[in-house]
Chains A and B, each alone.
Chain A
């Protein structure tokens, strides 16, 4: 049977092109690889190569023709043993239509109603909540640093696939001492000092996760993870989706995030909004030691890739932590850290401490704030935000980070889209100033979010 030669698509965007020149004539013998024609695409002039052998029986589109649609039959090729003269031009022909799923038998899974609504997260009682801490449980005062270390050690004891790698995590005992003691207990096989090579070891960790291990990759700070963000986003975050759900990447990228103290612009940045914008990643940013421990344990256990954002200024702060054998907390759930019905203050990480200070000051003036610690930035606990708004009708978002395209911006959007009727005032953002972090002590103080700014905003939304 004669072969139809069709106007080829020669670039991802080409829909039509000019058949600039035929380099063969009717009756010519064609071998695979011969250049048959020159075709001008939207990008360049391309050579049209033969893939089959035969005799060129008919040219159907003469050279110099513009706007030839992709898929139009431009010539006919007679195959071996076929009479070229007898080859007929086909009746009006197009590229074969792509079968649409609607017309075909659906795959095994039930299609959704309109198919493209994001799956709702479980609501109400079905949603995971913090486990009950049994009455009489002893509380121990731990620093965030110790809580994080304990979380890693417990998970490493429970699962040999868990290991930790990063700069200075082993012999130096951690640049911020978060991995203190781990080398002694688990040895050099599982507590691994890397060279200063963020892009490289983020990739090695991600590959090890793809290969079935459970890596914890420590960045000395997340500022340096900028060099590795390609592996976090492109390799770890997207592979499960791109592979149709067959390639898992159970990895935790962790380290301090946000402004420290007097280290200036390149070392003082909050990456929460960056990572939280990426579907495929889980992003956690705890405030208290109990949450740091419980959420890091869950982060290590989940099969999804997690970005775990700590804060250097919180490492040394102490909090009560339940003294339980296995204190793991649900990912994706906010916590109400102070209850009130006058104004909601939503925050995460170090911002929660500022929100609590502000709430104390507001209480002195008779304003009771409902303080929500988001804890997880992706997936975000929308329901908790909206529930608080429905009681207070006013909201302030506190974020130690830049205002533009921030988590605060996202909370504002949620309130606009899903909580509009509950709003008695516009939601206000209280964030760092929109500048790179300055070094000078006075300027740094001015750039950072503080409790007084939060108090002013809370009063503003309360019209007081």
Chain B
């Protein structure tokens, strides 16, 4: 397991990078129970690597553009960027079955939607609050949905998506449709009580759900160490008998490997599993966060040493992909993003008559 991008300031009780603590909890805490297999780093084909690269770059460029549009006043309110965390959504969602699995996340949702193959244009148009946006301009950055793609949001209340995702998993099991739910939440949400209420029911009823903690190390401005009595978040399910794995979320191949193990576990009817993906966000919590709680050097150090996109680039080089091929992808993405931004800037705002639509569905 690769090193997690830990801050210099942090003084972890145990390094999460140590294999023994990460994957084999002490015998005392986990007696005799079956445990998921040891995840293996995914051996990707050249095409898979190129696709991961393309998707992660798409997310990064999209988010950079969103940051710019925010700066121009075209995007309002809160806007939480996914820059730095791209390997998590891309690695996990590449392993899902789009025809039956469901996904739900919190308010940092643009990256997940892109990783799910949704059109960047309608996502950007939602950010600018236009009628052509995926939620017709009524949801904005934090509230986006695509039921057609089984992407169930996009939820603005920290932690709410965890019981909701458990409900989606309940529906999978109730209908016996073979699907499972991937419910993402952050290290901050991991301290919400409702998360544990959901853990309890998910294991009690053996629901097909993968709980994914995207540990980017800061809940807004509060580091994991300052907010979490048990800072090894993958252990947070143990008292509910939910096995946990800690994964380097900066390496898309490790993430993909973990996704395979988690899906095998869940699909075989063994109930939920918890993945803690150690990752890092380069930008502030939202656009208005001056990020004074961490040093510039800390951010720079992660960018230089652990950047998930640079890591895939190296894999691509090793696989014999030429710099020109990668440049072609860069160029293609630049065009997609420019078109998305143009679309989002030029399409009209919702018609005033939309103010009262979609409050209720039926007429009473």
Chain B 292-330 per-residue mask, 1 if CB under 8 angstroms from chain A, else 0: 100010000001000000000000000000000000000
Q: Which residue in B65, B128, B163, B170 is a CB contact (below 8 Å) of A211?
A: B170
Which residues B159-216 have CB closer than 8 A to chain A?
160, 162-172, 174-175, 193-194, 197-198, 200-201, 204
Q: Which residue on chain B has the smallest CB distance to residue A196?
A: B197
Chain B 100-136 per-residue mask, 1 if CB under 8 angstroms from chain A, else 0: 0010100000000000000000000000100101111
Q: Which of B8-16, B22-30, B67-75 contacts A (4 or more CB under 8 A)?
A: B67-75
Chain B 73-95 per-residue mask, 1 if CB under 8 angstroms from chain A, else 0: 11011100000000000000000
B229 touches A (CB below 8 Å): no
Known: A211-B168, A242-B138. A304 touches B353 (CB 8 A): no
In the docked arrangement, what's the CA distance between A190 and B134, Å?
34
List, in ascending order, chain A residues with CB within 8 A of B168's CB: 207-208, 210-211
List, in ascending order, chain A residues with CB within 8 A of B193's CB: 199
Known: A203-B194, A207-B164. A244 touches B134 (CB 8 A): yes
A35, B296: Cβ atoms under 8 Å?
yes
A11 touches B (CB below 8 Å): yes
B152 touches A (CB below 8 Å): yes
A70, B73: Cβ atoms under 8 Å?
yes
A332, B364: Cβ atoms under 8 Å?
yes
Q: Can you report 13 A-B residue pairs in the complex whose CB atoms are below 8 A from each other? A: A9-B71, A10-B287, A11-B288, A51-B67, A100-B348, A195-B200, A201-B163, A201-B197, A207-B163, A240-B361, A241-B358, A243-B358, A245-B136
A98 touches B (CB below 8 Å): yes
Known: A195-B204, A231-B163. A119 touches B356 (CB 8 A): yes
A96 touches B (CB below 8 Å): yes
B362 touches A (CB below 8 Å): yes
Q: Which residue on chain A has the smallest CB distance to residue B287?
A: A10
List, in ascending order, chain A residues with CB within 8 A of B162's CB: 203
B64 touches A (CB below 8 Å): yes
Known: A111-B351, A243-B147. A208 touches B171 (CB 8 A): yes
Given A213-B171, A247-B152, 16 new contacts (CB under 8 A): A12-B288, A33-B303, A35-B296, A70-B73, A101-B348, A116-B353, A117-B356, A118-B356, A199-B194, A203-B194, A209-B167, A230-B160, A234-B156, A234-B160, A240-B359, A244-B358
Q: Which of A37-45, A134-142, A340-348, A398-406 contacts B (4 or more CB under 8 A)?
A: A37-45
B137 touches A (CB below 8 Å): yes
List, in ascending order, chain B residues with CB within 8 A of A109's CB: 351, 353-354
In the docked arrangement, what's the CA distance between A35 and B347, Å?
32
Chain A 23-63 per-residue mask, 1 if CB under 8 angstroms from chain B, else 0: 00000000011010000010111110001000000000000
B362, A302: Cβ atoms under 8 Å?
yes
In the docked arrangement, what's the CA distance between A303 and B147, Å?
15
In the docked arrangement, what's the CA distance between A229 and B93, Å?
32
Closest 10 CB pairs of A and B: A207-B167, A203-B163, A200-B197, A115-B352, A8-B71, A332-B364, A244-B136, A211-B171, A11-B288, A207-B164
In the docked arrangement, what's the CA distance between A314 and B110, Å?
49
In the docked arrangement, what's the CA distance between A210 and B102, Å?
11
In the docked arrangement, what's the CA distance between A195 and B72, Å?
49
Interface residues of B (CB under 8 A from A): 64-65, 67-68, 70-74, 76-78, 102, 104, 128, 131, 133-139, 143-148, 152-157, 160, 162-172, 174-175, 193-194, 197-198, 200-201, 204, 282, 287-288, 290, 292, 296, 303, 345-364
Q: Which residue in B135, B198, B290, B356 is a CB contact (below 8 Å) of A242?
A: B135
Interface of chain A: mostly helix, strand, loop or mixed? loop
B353, A115: Cβ atoms under 8 Å?
yes
List, in ascending order, chain A residues with CB within 8 A of B175's CB: 212-213
In the docked arrangement, what's the CA distance between A149 and B303, Å?
60
A211, B350: Cβ atoms under 8 Å?
no
Q: Which residue in B160, B171, B358 is a CB contact (below 8 Å) of A235?
A: B160
Chain A interface size, under 10 / 10 to 19 / 20 to 34 / 35 or more: 35 or more
B348, A197: Cβ atoms under 8 Å?
no
B364, A208: Cβ atoms under 8 Å?
no
A246 touches B (CB below 8 Å): yes
- Minimal beta-carbon separation of B223 from chain A (angstroms): 19
List, in ascending order, chain B residues with CB within 8 A of A158's CB: none
List, in ascending order, chain B residues with CB within 8 A of A234's CB: 156-157, 160
A203, B145: Cβ atoms under 8 Å?
no
- Minimal beta-carbon separation of A332 from chain B (angstroms): 3
- Minimal beta-carbon separation of B350 from chain A (angstroms): 7
A206 touches B (CB below 8 Å): yes
Q: Identify the interface centre among B131, B167, B353: most chain A CB within 10 Å of its CB.
A: B167
Q: Which residue on chain B has the smallest CB distance to residue A100?
A: B349
List, in ascending order, chain A residues with CB within 8 A of B363's CB: 121-122
A107 touches B (CB below 8 Å): yes
A104 touches B (CB below 8 Å): yes
In the docked arrangement, what's the CA distance between A213 and B197, Å?
21
Known: A32-B64, A239-B153, A246-B147. A116 touches B355 (CB 8 A): yes
List, in ascending order, chain B residues with CB within 8 A of A121's CB: 363-364
List, in ascending order, chain A residues with CB within 8 A of B160's CB: 203, 230-231, 234-235
- Minimal beta-carbon separation of A167 from chain B (angstroms): 12
A131 touches B (CB below 8 Å): no
Q: Which residue on chain A has the smallest CB distance to residue B194?
A: A199
- Minimal beta-carbon separation of A163 from chain B (angstroms): 7
List, in ascending order, chain A residues with CB within 8 A of B197's CB: 195, 197, 199-201, 203
A330 touches B (CB below 8 Å): yes
A226 touches B (CB below 8 Å): no
Known: A33-B303, A101-B131, A195-B201. A204 touches B76 (CB 8 A): no
B152, A116: Cβ atoms under 8 Å?
no
B167, A244: Cβ atoms under 8 Å?
no
A115, B351: Cβ atoms under 8 Å?
yes
A379, B364: Cβ atoms under 8 Å?
yes
A197, B201: Cβ atoms under 8 Å?
yes
A99 touches B (CB below 8 Å): yes
Chain A 181-203 per-residue mask, 1 if CB under 8 angstroms from chain B, else 0: 00000000100001101011111
Known: A189-B174, A242-B138, A244-B135. A8 touches B355 (CB 8 A): no
A204, B200: Cβ atoms under 8 Å?
no
Q: Which residue on chain B has the smallest CB distance to residue A189?
A: B174
In the docked arrangement, what's the CA distance between A292 and B310, Å?
63
B170, A204: Cβ atoms under 8 Å?
yes
Q: Identify the interface centre among B144, B148, B362: most chain A CB within 10 Å of its CB.
A: B362
A279 touches B (CB below 8 Å): yes
Q: Which residue on chain A has the smallest CB distance to residue B355?
A: A116
Q: Which residue on chain B has the smallest CB distance to residue A70?
A: B73
A246, B145: Cβ atoms under 8 Å?
yes
A244, B139: Cβ atoms under 8 Å?
yes
In the docked arrangement, what's the CA distance between A121 and B362, Å?
11
In the docked arrangement, what's the CA distance between A49 and B174, Å?
49
A322 touches B (CB below 8 Å): no
B72, A71: Cβ atoms under 8 Å?
yes
Q: Identify the interface centre among A9, A41, A100, A194: most chain B CB within 10 Å of its CB.
A: A9
A51, B356: Cβ atoms under 8 Å?
no
In the docked arrangement, what's the CA distance between A235 and B350, Å?
23
A328 touches B (CB below 8 Å): no
A86 touches B (CB below 8 Å): no
Q: Which residue in A116, A199, A330 is a CB contact (below 8 Å) of B352?
A: A116
